[in-house]
Every structure is written in C-alpha cells, then in structure tokens.
Amino acid sequence: MLITKRVEFSASHVCRSPLLSDRENQELFGAAANPYGHGHNYAVEVTVEGNPDPVTGMVMDLKKLKDVIHREVVEVYDHRFLNHEVPPFDHIVPTAENIAIDVWQRLDLHLSKDGSRLHAVRIFETPDLYVDYFGGAA
C-alpha cells in the first residue's frame, strides 16, 4: 500500500554548471542558463509504503507526514533562489532530477521508520515535466 502527499513551493533557479563554459551552458540549458534565474511553482509528491494499521486504518500518522514534509522541504525551499540559498545547489545544478535526490535525502530518515518506508519522490517542475526518484543509485 502506498500513500502520497502533494505539496507545492515557489522557488527560482539557474541551470548552469561551473564545470562548463558559458557557451556550453547556453547550448545545453538554453534560456534556463540565464544567470539571473527564473522560477517555478514546484509540486512535490512524497510516497510512503506500508500496511494500514488495523486500528487506525492509516499507513502512517497523516499529520506527522504533513509536518515532516513542511519542516524538511517546504520551509527550506519555498520562496528561495535555490542556487544561492539552498545547499547543495551552491555547487550542484538544481535540475528537477537533483532536487528529487535532495528531497529524498531530507525525508528518508524521518519517514522510513515505525513500519513505513519512503518509496518515491516526484518533482513537477511544470505540469508537463516531472521526475521520479526511488532512492539508491541515482
């Protein structure tokens, strides 16, 4: 059984790597490499796996799930310029892929216990582009 909670945050980012030249960044990322940055209303879907408790009928305490996601992800990312304000994006390109890995690492310890397990993190950069990460080798 899987349970998924969706939250949203607004942030800005630049897609450019310090390991590439300006021209390489431009060719690879196009307008997303603009150094002033641009932004998105990101959506995050966090999926936890477990069995519903016979008494409560819940895979995990839903209020705790919401609290953890808010404290560990929304409060960290919301209304931020990711490259400048949210490590590790000072040295890693904040693509949707890398955001998914970072969100996983922020949540895994808190959600994988007491019989439940973090199963997946989905990041929507726009409604038409999203990534899924399931932990392990990225």
Give the interface with its own copies as residue ranges (CB under 8 A): 1-8, 10-13, 15, 17, 19-20, 28, 30-32, 34, 36-41, 51-52, 55-59, 61-63, 78-81, 84-85, 92-98, 100-101, 126-134, 137-138
Closest by CA position to 95, among listed 5, 138, 32, 26: 32
Is-contact 114 60, C-beta < 8 A? yes
Residue 94: CB minimum distance to its own copies, A: 7
- Radius of gyration of the chain from Cα atoms? 16
Residue whose CB is less far from its own copies, 110 or 135: 135
Residue whose CB is less far from its own copies, 113 or 132: 132
